[in-house]
Structure 1
Amino acid sequence: MSGNESKKLQEIEKLQKRVISGSLSRREFMRAAAVMGLAAAAPALYAKAAHAKPKKGGHYRVGLPAANTGDNMDTATNSDNFMITMAQGSVRNCVTEVDANGKAIPELAESLEPSADAATWTVKVRKGVVFHSGKTLDADDIIASIEHHRGEGSKSAAKSVAESMGEIKKDDANTIIFKLKSGNADFPFLLSDYHITIGAADKSGKVDWMAGDGTGPYSIKTFEPGVRAHLVRNPNYFKADEGNFDEATLLALNDANARMNAMSTGQVDAIARCDLKTAKLLGKKPGVEVLETEGTKHYTYPMDVRQKPFNDNNVRMALKLGMDRKVFIDTVLRGYGALGNDHPIGASQNYHASDLPQRKYDPDKAKWHLKQAGMSSLDVEMSASDAAFAGAVDATQLYAESLKPAGINLTVKRVSDDGYWSNVWMKVPWSASYWSGRPTADWMFTIGWKAGGNWTETFWDHKRFEELLVKGRAELDEAKRSAIYKEMQSICRDEGGSVIPCFVKSVDAASDKLGRPAKLAGNFELDGCRSVARWWFL
């Protein structure tokens, strides 16, 4: 083999690795091969890479944010990246999962069949699935796991979602009938909620959540909350193309600089939530790839509308108009985002109200609203931590500057990262927050905006919104359903208690020695928080 041919072979192998890792499209491969004079052989060379099966083996190390010393395996209270990755993404499964195309597909279910009005759903349980403890999955496990989130006294973040599932009955060992309170064409999505993972039920119909038993691709070897988790492969996992690593270590790296340093120095194989200020620089380092994924994530500043001064909508409008969204995106996100309009449905989602006027920075109009509230100026405090989102403290300081011309003095109170979600968020009148979003409008409105919901972060209760939420869920006519959800977005925008400045791309990083699907899920960071399950070493 000549030196030139050897060089071509090496270049082709590099391109094939990029195809396998998901970072090179078919068109890009064909173009590069043609430049090397290999146009005729390109289709076969591409096919060899595209159809390569994931390899088994290796120890995957991933640096993750949002870990807390109070974390545990009761997914009812899980709230962010570390525990989503560990619980839903590694140790357990849900009845359905959201794929890279944003569709709800069966996971622990074999099938889901609706009635004509979508008010009754028949779910067939996947046969042959075994828990790490050796118990075989059946209908009782799924019913017990869902019931854990329902009823009076439930502290689950998925309480409102689980209660919307209506009456649940076991038809036989592998069949469950859901009789919803009203029709819901989006019902399969609700069964993918990361809080509603499936545990093994005992004879009394209860699940020992702290035991950490699951059906997922990995079982727990050790778990130090707020520090790390060491997982080992489940040899009996029911998905042949997942659970490829022999072991996985999840490292709690809440500080963005610590994550970036760990990735840069090779201490980890991947990280979630790059520091956007230095993401491009990290991507220039040999062996590191920066991954950008469009999704539904958005940053929020929720106000407790039960408390003064936030119980006055004129004050809320002043605070919305005092946000300079363009400067926020350019400065905080370094361009990795899009304008928010004070409602939680992004431009890429179905039923997005694109005809709603985009709210612009207008300190004079903000002053007018303050005047309507009987104020000439306003002093207010917000609690913020970088646990809310990367750079949240600096971002909130930037927001404070944009409020000054409106006569609003915002004091930013920096609080501890540890315990932020349990001790600060929804415990103080105003704080920084973020949402990964949800694939459907109904789901997002139900979990984050419905009156009385455990995660309704503004404690909002709007009669018309509540009526539309029920109506939209049952409406099967697409045009009518679209009109309902657009009206709901308008109500959130103009009367809701949250400032939503932007929608955000997920920006993560991974070693080029890792293989991954050609398309990554965008519902959470690192392939929907499932990199441990779905990725492999090349």
Structure 2
Amino acid sequence: MTILSNSGLNRRRFLQTTAATAMAATLPLGGAMAAPKRGGHLRVGKAHGQTTDTMNPGTWENGFTIGMAFAIHGRLTEVKADGSLAPELAESWEATPDAKTWRFKVRQGVKFHSGKDLTPEDVMASIAFHRGEDSTSAAGPLVAPIENMSIDGDTVVFELSGGNADFPFILSDYHLTIHPAKDDTIDWESGDGCGSYILKNKNFGVSCTMERNPNHWRDDVGFFDSIEMLALVDQNARTTALVSGDVDVIDRLDLKTVGLLERNQNIQINSVAGTQHFTFAMSTNQAPFDDNNVRQALKYAINREELVEKILFGYGSVGNDIPIGQGQQFYNTELEQKTYDPDKAKWYLNEAGMDSLSVNLSAADAAFAGAVDAGVLFQASAKDAGIDLQVTREPNDGYWSDVWMQKPFSAVYWSGRPVQDQMFATAYSCGAAWNDSFWCHEKFEALMVEARAELDEAKRKDMYWEMQDIVSNQGGVIIPMFANYVFATSTKVKTSDGLASNWDMDGERWAERWSFA
């Protein structure tokens, strides 16, 4: 057995974090950071949440449910603020040299909020919940390579169909929360978790309240006495709530008004560059998007630089139709960057046997702030390429259940994933629950399996570079821009010393890591 980690998997830092403004925390004269203090009631306004949300971990897909999940539940592993991996409910792990068999030792002394002790059986049942041919969980593709699970004392043994060097990172996914085992499955409906906060009340699409877990196994997380999280999807309502002091934190700022907010001495602006990207997903299983020439025409008909300037106001960078950030390991630095080229778009239309094209794009602020405006800009740039693109403003509530993956062309936001295999398996693997372009590519699928098992980093890099080329030039998703995470806090809130970039709001670990100043 080869030990790969017993205190955390330290890889090359694959996410780059930048701050546009100073952190709320400052160094005292002695040079050491002051310890966070406990107490207080935190109020958070989230630009997410809908009435169709549930407690089922396989369905979580927005910032409201993800923020709740990280607060009340635990996972086997945790991505730290610096991008490295640390043990959470797993004390340690080890693997065979081929990375096909993994042993995770389950942490002792952990209790669920109900008082039940955490056991290996809970871990195995929680992962099994997302497996199987009938699984509709978004995490299904992540755990599909698990062929067998067993328990050896205090250890859960995972046998994979092939080697996977990133398997410990996979188990940090927010869907893969650990719940009490119950009747050959898990109890997910009650919200009984083993996280640093206890869920007290929930009204999906409106709010939830949580209280600090006094019996949590860690003493370095969970500093607020209580938290109230509000679903404030409306941009103006969210911003007004922060300015008036009705909430202490909001995410997804209106970038047009960031300059005004910066003038408010009671508000701190935070900007973090990471893996978040905004997309337009095309259903490749229906015309006209089943023709790659049409897809390429649309990719060259969008002015990416204009979107970064007018939608992100500079808080981001141009995308190249791949979901991999420039700071991530194995990012393809030699992939030709697509630029706005209406003549090239027309050429691809001609290759598809068309002189013109008419399509409809669905968008809403629920997809991302400025999504409708981005669609209007896309409409204007596409016109010179002979493309009539009509933009439909969809309702915010129910967007993810009624529009995303239901309408053939829609605006989407993705927070990205820590490692490439996780991102590709979640959203680009053929048949994956969240493959929102319904795209399948035989060579891509083969490379994904090979790269996952390859331990030689040079060979792995070549495979991931080829996969990115395939996704960029044959895939069904337009990725015009990567967006910084831009959120605001009251100056009363002390954020982490270094903000994570793997998810919004400090990796969505704000409930655990922040405190009142």
TM interval, short-chain normalised: over 0.9
Provide the rounded CA distance (Å) in 2 between the counterparts of 1:456 and 1:535. 34
Partner of 1:445: 424
Match 2:376 to one of 393, 397, 401: 397
What is aligned with 1:459?
A: 438
**One-letter amino acid matched to 2:55:** M
> Could you tell me which residue of structure 2 aligns to residue 238 of structure 1?
217
Residue 100 of structure 1: which of 75, 81, 85 is its match?
A: 81
Query: Given residue 135 of structure 1, which amino acid in structure 2 is its aligned partner?
Result: K
Given the alignment of the two structures, is residue 182 of structure 1 paired with residue 180 of structure 2, yes or no?
no
Q: Of 294, 298, 302, which aligns to 2:277?
A: 298
Equivalent residue in structure 1 for 2:62, among 55, 77, 80: 80
Gaps of 5+ in 2: 1-21
Residues 394-415 of structure 1, C-alpha deviation per residue, up to 9 Å, x if partnerless? 1111111110000000011111
Task: Name the residue aligned to 1:164.
Answer: 145
SS of 1:302 mapped into structure 2: strand
For residues 475 and 465 of structure 2, what CA distance do their matches in structure 1 show?
14
Native 8 Å contact 1:98 1:105 kept in 2: yes
Q: Which aligned pairs between 1:68-217 and structure 2 lie closer than 5 A?
A: 68-87=50-69, 89-172=70-153, 174-202=154-182, 204-217=183-196
Aligned residues: 496
**CA offsets per residue over residues 468-490 of structure 1, 9 Å max, x none?**
00000011111110010000000
Separation in structure 2 between the aligned mates of residue 506 and residue 258 of structure 1, nearest angstrom:
19
After TM superposition, the structure 1 = structure 2 runs for residues 330-409 of structure 1, keeping only pairs within 5 Å, are: 330-409=309-388
Matches within 5 A, 1:520-535: 520-535=499-514
Select which of 308, 311, 325 maps to 1:329.
Answer: 308
Q: Distance in 2 between matches of 1:197 and 1:78?
A: 11
TM-score w.r.t. the length of structure 1 is 0.91
SS in 2 for 1:278: helix
Report the alpha carbon displacement of residue 516 of structure 1 after superposing the two structures with TM: 2.3
Whichever residue aligns with residue 35 of structure 2, its letter is K
| Alpha-carbon distance between aligned partners in 2 of 1:431 and 1:409, rounded to the nearest angstrom | 16
Q: CA deviation at 1:392?
A: 0.6
Contact 2:57 2:175 in 1 (8 A): yes
DSSP-derived class of the 1:76 partner: helix
What amino acid is aligned across from residue 81 of structure 1 in structure 2? G
Cα deviations by residue, 1:303-324 (Å, 9 ceiling, x for unpaired): 1101000011110000000010
* 3-state SS in 2 of match to 1:151: coil
* Cα distance in 2, alignment partners of residues 518 and 340 from structure 1: 29
Distance in 1, Cα, partners of 2:426 & 2:93: 22
Equivalent-residue separation in structure 2 for 1:206 and 1:121 (angstroms): 22
Q: TM-score, normalised by structure 2?
A: 0.94
Aligned-pair CA distance for 1:116: 1.0
Structure 1 residues 249-298: Cα deviation after superposition (integer angstroms, max 9, x where no partner): 00110012211111111111111111111112112201110001111000
Q: d(CA) in 2 for partners of 1:178 and 1:516?
A: 36
- Is the CA contact (8 Å cut-off) linking 2:280 and 2:411 kept in structure 1? yes
- Compute the displacement of 1:375 (Å): 0.6
Deviation at 1:24?
5.8
| C-alpha displacement of 1:380 | 0.5
The 5 A counterparts of 1:305-316 are 305-316=284-295
Cα offset for 1:534? 1.2
Check the 8 A contact 1:260/1:282 in 2, yes or no: no
Report the AA paired with residue 116 of structure 2. K
- Tell me how far apart the structure 2 counterparts of residues 510 and 168 of structure 1 sit (CA, whole Å): 43
* Deviates further, 313-322 or 159-168: 159-168
Matched residue SS, 2:410: coil
Distance in structure 1 (CA, Å) of the matches to 2:428 and 2:167 = 18
Larger radius of gyration, structure 1 or 2?
1
> For 2:196 and 2:349, how far apart are their aligned partners in 1?
55
Asked if the contact 1:168/1:176 (under 8 Å) is kept, the reply is yes
One-letter code aligned to 1:59: H
Kindly indicate whether residue 243 of structure 2 is the aligned counterpart of residue 264 of structure 1. yes
CA root-mean-square deviation = 1.2
Q: Provide the rounded CA distance (Å) in 1 between the counterparts of 2:180 and 2:368.
A: 34
Distance 1:391 1:401 in 2: 15
SS in 1 for 2:488: strand
Pairing 1:482–2:464 present: no
- Runs (4 or more) in structure 1 with deviation over 2 Å come to 21-26
Residue 515 of structure 1 pairs with residue 494 of structure 2? yes
Residue type of the partner of 2:435?
T
Give how far 1:165 is off.
Answer: 2.8
- Identity, % of aligned positions: 48
Q: CA deviation at 1:54?
A: 1.3
Q: Distance in 2 between matches of 1:390 and 1:100?
A: 25
Whether 1:499 and 2:478 are equivalent positions in the alignment is yes
Cα offset, 1:55, TM superposition: 0.8
- Closer/same/farther in 2, CA of residues 291 and 369 from structure 1, 3 Å limit: same
Amino acid at match of 2:179: G
Give 1:229 shift: 0.4
Q: What's the offset of the Cα at 1:73?
A: 1.2
Q: Is the 8 A contact 1:294 1:505 kept in 2?
A: yes
Alignment partner of 1:412 is 2:394: no
Aligned with residue 44 of structure 2, among 51, 62, 65: 62
**Structure 1, unpaired ranges of 5+:** 1-20, 30-41
Does the 8 Å contact 2:25/2:494 carry over to 1? no
**Of residues 414, 432, 435 in structure 1, which corresponds to 2:411?**
432
Where does residue 233 of structure 2 map in the other structure? 254
**2:24 and 2:491 in contact (8 A); partners too:** no
Mapping 1:213-232, distance limit 5 Å: 213-232=192-211
**Contact 2:24–2:494, Cα closer than 8 Å, also in 1:** no
Separation in 1, partners of 2:312, 2:84: 28
Shift of residue 25 of structure 1? 6.7
SS of equivalent residue, structure 1 residue 282? helix
1:282 matched residue in structure 2: 261
* Larger helix proportion of the pair: 1
Query: CA–CA distance in 1 between the matches of 2:259 and 2:461?
Result: 39
1:22 Cα deviation from its structure 2 partner:
4.4
Does the 8 Å contact 1:93/1:214 carry over to 2? yes
SS in 1 for 2:181: coil
CA deviation string 1:199-227 (max 9, x = no partner): 1112x332121111000111111111100
